[in-house]
Structure 1
Amino acid sequence: MSTNTNSLYDTDYGLWLASQIDSIRSHRWEELDIDNLIEELEGLNRSNERELESYLVIILTHLLKWEYQPQARSGSWKGSIFNGRKRIARLFKQQPSLRPRVPEFLPEAYADSIEVARLETGLPADVFPAECSYSPSQILDIEFLPGDSELPD
């Protein structure tokens, strides 16, 4: 790896990335900035994990609101739940190894969703169960909604 490639990483990320892609395509392995490439690949994996957790928070927040504030149910909540589930399904298509990790992300995502649901509904946090009562399969099931799934008239 040349010093020039390493300094490019610090000064012009886009140019550094283009040079790394070009080196890989051309099989010029000696030009690769291995340490920074490893760091970037690890960051990409963490980014996918954060994306999964973020969509779990959105889904769980709306499931809680749906269940604990039924008089305020809306198509918007239903749409957010649907959208989050579709996004997670796409993420699993790209990275199937994330699917079995959902239970690992659930406790923190659920804790965050309680806080958001509390802020958005005005309900006290202790109204919501301390631990998530939805299974991973329910959370990801495109059809699942807790309680009465119909919108009020």
Structure 2
Amino acid sequence: MGTSYEKDVVAWANEQAALLRAGKFSALDIEHIAEEIEDVGKSEQRELASRMAVLLAHLLKWQCQPERRGASWQTTLRIQRAAIVRRLNKTPSLQPMLGDAEWISDMWGDARQQAAAEMQIGVALLPESCPWSMTQVLDEGFLPD
């Protein structure tokens, strides 16, 4: 094998792809290929989680700071919702996460931290659990009062 996985993952990935295309299966670094495939799935999950936390944080800010509501917050809500829906459409296996109470709790915790920091308030002032359903959160017309 040319480049080691630990030394340069990009060069390693290119070499592995070339070996696959050439049908040189015995030369493949199977263990690291399996890890990288798993990491692709984890990356998709992280992107969904990140976007959901941003969306939830902005919904919290919208609810808690009505005097600061504006076009930029609406734009962020629209962009995050569209990106989440796109991600779910492209990767339907992520859909069950929206019904996973532990996952929602994690995203809510991240959103609370982000919103509290941006609003410069204590996180304890924000609801401990998400007050909205995921259907509401993703509904482009939904804005909490």
Could you tell me the TM-score, scaled by structure 1's length? Answer: 0.85
SS at match of 1:134: coil
* Pair 1:19 & 2:15 matched: yes
Instruction: Give the Cα–Cα distance (whole angstroms) in 1 for the partners of residues 84 and 22 of structure 2.
Output: 35
- Which has the larger displacement, 59-68 or 74-83? 74-83
Q: Which one has the largest radius of gyration?
A: 1
Following the alignment from structure 1 to structure 2, what is the Cα–Cα distance between the partners of residues 24 and 139? Answer: 42
Gaps of 5+ in 1: 148-153
Q: Deviations over 1:34-92 (max 9, x none)?
A: 00001111111111111111011100000000011111101111111111111112211
Amino acid at match of 2:105: P
The within-5 A match list for 1:57-136 is: 57-104=53-100, 105-136=103-134
Tell me, yes or no, if the aligned pair for 1:67 and 1:146 is still in contact at 8 Å: yes
Which residue type is aligned with residue 112 of structure 2? I
**Unpaired stretches in structure 2, ≥5 consecutive residues:** none
Preserved contact between residue 56 and residue 106 of structure 1 (Cα < 8 Å): no
Q: Which residue, 43, 49, 74 being the options, matches 1:47?
A: 43
Name the % identity: 32
> Given the superposition, is the C-alpha separation of residues 16 and 124 from structure 1 closer, same or farther in structure 2, using an over 3 Å criterion?
closer
Which residue in 2 is equivalent to 1:151? none
Q: Helix, strand or coil: the match of 2:6? A: helix
Is the 1:62–1:77 contact (alpha carbons within 8 Å) kept by the matching residues of 2?
yes
Matched residue pairs, number?
143
Report the Cα distance in structure 2 between the residues aligned to 1:14 and 1:124, rounded to whole angstroms.
42
CA distance in 2, matches of 1:101, 1:119: 26
For normalisation by structure 2, the TM-score amounts to 0.89
Q: 1:10 is matched by which residue type in structure 2?
A: E
One-letter amino acid matched to 1:25: R
Task: Report the AA paired with residue 84 of structure 1.
Answer: Q
Q: How far 1:122 moved relative to its partner? A: 2.6
What is the root-mean-square deviation of aligned Cα atoms in Å? 1.5
Question: Given the alignment of the two structures, is residue 31 of structure 1 paired with residue 27 of structure 2, yes or no?
Answer: yes
